[in-house]
Amino acid sequence: MKKNYFLQLIVFAFAFAFQMGNAQNRLANNEFGSTIQNWLNQNKDSYRLSENDLSSLLVSDAYFSKKTKINHVYINQAYQGIKIHNAVSSVAMRDNAVFYYDNALLSNIASKINTTTPVIDAQSAINSVVTAYNLGPVSNLEVLKSSEGSYLFSKGGVSRVDIPVQLVFQPLENGSIKLAWDLSINTLDNKNWYSVRVDASTGAIIDTNNWILSCNFGDGNHKKHTSHKIKESTGINLFKSESSYMVDGSQYSVYPIPFENPNDGPLTLVSEPANLIASPLGWHDTNGAAGAEFTITRGNNVYAQEDANGDDGFGAAPDGGAALDFDYSASVITTTPSSFQDLSLTNLFYISNIMHDVWYQYGFDEVSGNFQQNNYGNGGAGNDFVVADGQDGSGFNNANFGTPPRWK
């Protein structure tokens, strides 16, 4: 049976800082806190909110966009210092005034909350999730850090990363709000990264999300796709001028954007595609000094490699040498993926970096949470580059991507 191979993307290198309580996250501690609080108090009736609903607001994130000159503040509703899961509203500030607000706060929260005192503890909540998802036996589970209803547990033999657990309120479809333990477990096979709310009174799972998004494209039979359109390429100049590109001699054999696949256009050798604003030292730098640290398909934004055995470890990667010459134009695409592995991984490296550089132009930069090992002094938290696995042995004709939040 013919199998067409799609690229698998997994975010692997994430450095987590543990969230030690909510005291430092209170809205009042933000530089725009009083302005936002006053605006909400003045406009609360428009959103059917009471002063009590607005009395305990936290800041889940805040940053200044250099692109738009706007301060973005994300406020998380809370009750008695315990945050309400996903009750997060976005506020945009310009000239020290609110000019945009998107409400996600809940009304009459005091009457909807069942309790503020948990019956089961954080470790019991972990055990409930492990049992529900059949994650195997728990071993050596211990508390590494704790503060004000937040805990960081060891991997316990069931997770690839340490397990954060925090007391929250979980809104339900019937309008009630239940006290719950919020935790996440990255399964050992890396196919799932469960974000779960466990009822803090009963231990029942009441809400689950999967931070790894998977797509499956069926059996690969595309004969019925009669509406497929061929795209015309007008070149790969995504930015304003040739002077916006990094001059490092690099070249890559790829299917350049806007081509989506080999059916859209020819294989092309593109030269020096890195954008100077988004990737100021090219795609192969990591230390912030001129010169590439890697001659393989690895750099500040992306590490593209094969994972033929499907273990999510580190595999082979194309090597362009000191000249950064990734010319695999002689490759022939066949039904045997390994025969064009270098070409495939080079294309994966290229498109992943292109997306980084394009999104950067629209404000997805360091302070707003983009993926970079080194943030070059531009704020934000680094060490979260994308590890992109291609020709992955865990499955064919699929793609998945995992992006857990950063714990602050």
- Whether 91 has a pLDDT exceeding 80, the answer reads yes
State the amino acid at position 203 in one-letter form.
Answer: G
142-171 per-position pLDDT tens digit: 999 999 889 999 999 999 999 999 999 999
- Cα→Cα distances 37→61, 82, 243, Å: 16, 18, 45
Give yes or no: residues 49 and 107 share one domain: yes
Q: Is 213 helix (H, G, I), strand (E, B) or coil?
A: strand
Other C-beta atoms lying within 10 Å of the C-beta of residue 43? 13
The CATH number linked to 302 is: 3.10.170.10
Of 150, 122, 127, 124, the closest CA to residue 137 belongs to 127
Mean pLDDT over 378-395 rounds to: 88
What does the pLDDT read at residue 12? 39
Query: Within this chain, do residues 248 and 393 fall inside the same structural domain, yes or no?
Result: yes
Sequence-distant (≥ 6) Cβ neighbours of residue 321 within 8 angstroms: 295
Q: What is the predicted pLDDT for the residue at 8?
A: 40
Residue 316 has pLDDT above 60, yes or no: yes
Which whole number is the average pLDDT over 278-284?
96
**Token duo for residue 176:** 């009630």
Q: Please identify, among 210, 244, 259, the residue that sits at the C-terminal boundary of a domain.
A: 210
More confident residue, 242 or 254: 254
With respect to residue 14, please indicate whether it lies within any of the assigned structural domains.
yes
Predicted local distance difference test score (pLDDT) of residue 256: 94
Q: Give the sign of the dihedral formed by CA 152, CA 155, CA 156, CA 159.
A: positive
CB 193 within 8 A of CB 185: yes
Instruction: Classify each residue of 108-131 as buried b or exposed e, where b means 16 or more C-beta atoms within 10 Å of its C-beta.
Output: ebeebbeeeebebebbebbbbbbe
Say whether pLDDT at 385 is over 80. Answer: yes
> Of 153, 179, 210, at which residue does a domain stop?
210
In a domain, 387, yes or no: yes
Same-domain status, 282 and 383 = yes
Q: How confident is the model at residue 389 (pLDDT cuts 50, 70, 90)?
A: very high
Distance CA 345, CA 37 (A): 50
Q: Write the pLDDT tens digit of every residue in 19-43.
A: 444 666 899 999 999 999 999 999 9
Flag whether pLDDT at 238 surpasses 80: no
Residue 25 belongs to some domain of the structure: no
Predicted structure pTM score:
0.80
The pLDDT, as a whole number, for residue 170 is: 98
Domain count, the chain: 3
Residues 173, 237, single domain; the answer is: no
pLDDT at 48: 97
Looking up tokens 């950064």, which residue turns up?
324
Q: Which domain holds residue 280?
A: 1-20+215-408
322, two tokens: 């000191």
Claim to verify: residue 247 and residue 338 sit in the same structural domain = yes
Among candidate residues 193, 210, 227, the one where a domain is terminated: 210
For residues 108 and 67, which has the higher predicted lDDT (pLDDT)?
A: 108
The whole-number pLDDT of residue 183 equals 98
| Residues 6+ away with beta carbon under 8 Å from 28 | 34, 37
381, part of any domain: yes
